Structure 1
Amino acid sequence: MSITYVLVHGAWHTGQAWARVVPRLAASGRPVFTPTLTGYGETKHLLTPEVGLRTHTADVVRLLVEADLHDVVLVGHSYAGLVISAVANEVPERIARLVFLDAMVPVHGENGFDVMPIPRSMLGTGWRVPPLPELPAPFGLFGVTEPGDIAWLRTMLSDQSARCLEEPVALDNPAAAAIPRTHIHCTVKPDGFDRRPVPPRQPNGEPADVRELAAGHDCMITAPDELAGLLLDVGEPVGAGSMRS
């Protein structure tokens, strides 16, 4: 069985954010899934204070199980770094590689606020967390600066529940530590959004695999060719080494 790509969007976005990447990956013959997590986009009417990280973990686990997906390259953008970590803890046998795309990377017991404290200042007193505001160039709206692209992105954006950032990630399954990881860092970012250094070794003992992309945060919109190339590159050796009869 060949590998399958499952691309998980970040906070406030939808699965449509991957629309420019999907054809490039699909051209390689690999299946590609881009689920929209509960409470965003077409499901934003389902957003309640109870929707959180566990909800989104269950969304992705359900997809993997119901579609009977194995040898999955599981990509998590931004907040979805928490989601894919939790998914790996639950169904490690289905995952060939984790890809943290400009993403939050937790350790056991951490939540989103622990990993990146900045969003706490946005929370206010309510349970709804609105999308980040547009910033001056070159940062724009999540790194998107072209007016037409910004207009398209705005059609996807909606609030998220604070619980997404408050629920801790459980990473207590030893089998999940064996999954190889890749980190893709977007290099165009505002001050104050510094990420943690990636440890020199992965949890499985392999050397760290860190790639850089000269793009803003929403690189799937602004640099789809370059991103697809990186994903195909990290997926190729995994697929070759994890084929199932």
Structure 2
Amino acid sequence: MTTFVLIPGMCHGGWCFDELAGQLRHHGHRVHALTLTGLGGVNLDTHIHQVTAALAAEDVHDAVLVGHSYGGMVITGAADRAPDRVTSLVYLDAVVPRGGDSMWKLVTDNERRWYLDVEESGFGVRPLPFFDPRATAHPLASLLQPIRLTGDLAHIRRNVYVYASGWPGESPFTSTYLRLSKDPSWITHALDSGHNLMRDAPQDLVKILLQSA
């Protein structure tokens, strides 16, 4: 049995993994799909601490952390801060930061324009109109804060990247996928899917995650 910890991207909650989590549980695995804390006073460190605290509270070891989009920032930080609890990282059409990188730095100008569409409080980035009705505003501070890494993540036994090739326009993750696909220490996949891989390609994702178990 493997423990999967699923981290959503911007504006989404653990509910976006419902189908994927159900199938992983059907195969006998333990799954925690987290909803990250939102708005005032919340930054990237808040979200990383939330994940490491959940790992500690559940006494999880040998976890596979799965991060979608912005979730790549979070799983990278959590693996750095809880090296005794994480063995594999799976990035779902996500950023893969190095120390000092921020979400703002790693995306395209088009994505940055979206980030500046904040709600009246000034704290949260509005969900895009085509998002699931359950989507909520995402804390802007978490997108601007650079990640602080203390190590080189050498303890991670398996690094997996899943790229969505079906974006309607320019994908902010193409350069990341091309770079990692040439790196022998990474396992990469490209799926004919939109950015929301969990909705558009759940069966393919289940197969990939089971290989990471």
Q: CA RMSD in A?
A: 1.6
Q: Which amino acid aligns with 2:203?
A: D
Structure 1: state its 5+ residue gaps: 40-46, 135-140, 142-152, 236-245
Alignment-derived partner of residue 4 in structure 2? 5
Contact preservation (8 Å) 1:3, 1:70: no
CA–CA separation in structure 2 for the residues paired with 1:194 and 1:128: 21
Q: Is 1:198–1:208's contact at 8 Å kept on the other side of the alignment?
A: no
Counterpart secondary structure, 1:190: coil
Q: Secondary structure at the match of 1:13?
A: coil
**CA–CA separation in structure 1 for the residues paired with 2:24 and 2:117:** 39
Is 1:187 matched up with 2:187?
Answer: no
Aligned residue among 118, 133, 154 for 1:177: 154
TM-score (norm 1): 0.78
The equivalent residue for 1:109 is 100
Asked if residue 70 in structure 1 is aligned to residue 67 in structure 2, the reply is no
State the partner residue of 2:179. 198
| Preserved CA contact (<8 Å) 2:80 2:151 | yes
Aligned to 2:36: 37
Task: Give the TM-score, by structure 2 length.
Answer: 0.89
Structure 1 ranges of 4+ moved more than 4 A: none
User: How big is the shift at 1:109?
Assistant: 0.4
Contact 2:73 2:96 in 1 (8 A): yes
**CA distance 1:157–1:124, change in 2 (3 Å):** closer
- Specify every segment of 5 or more residues in structure 2 that has no aligned partner in the other structure, as ranges: none
Deviates more, 1:67-76 or 1:187-196: 187-196
1:113 to 1:72, Cα distance in 2 relative to 1, 3 A: same
Larger Rg: 1
Counterpart CA distance in 1 for 2:17 and 2:140 is: 24
Q: For the residues of structure 1 that align with 2:113 and 2:92, how far apart are their CA atoms?
A: 23
C-alpha separation in 1, matches of 2:192 and 2:63? 26
Is 1:209 matched with 2:190? no
Query: For 1:218 and 1:91, how far apart are their aligned partners in 2?
Result: 28
Check the 8 A contact 2:19/2:202 in 1, yes or no.
yes
Q: Which residue identity is paired with 1:14?
A: G
Shift of 1:193: 2.0
Aligned residue-pair number: 203
- Which residue pairs with 1:83 in the alignment? 74
Of all paired residues, the percent bearing the same amino acid is: 33
Alignment of 1:141-180 (within 5 A): 141=131, 153-154=132-133, 156-174=134-152, 176-179=153-156, 180=158
SS in 2 for 1:184: strand
CA distance, structure 1, for counterparts of residue 123 and residue 6 of structure 2: 26
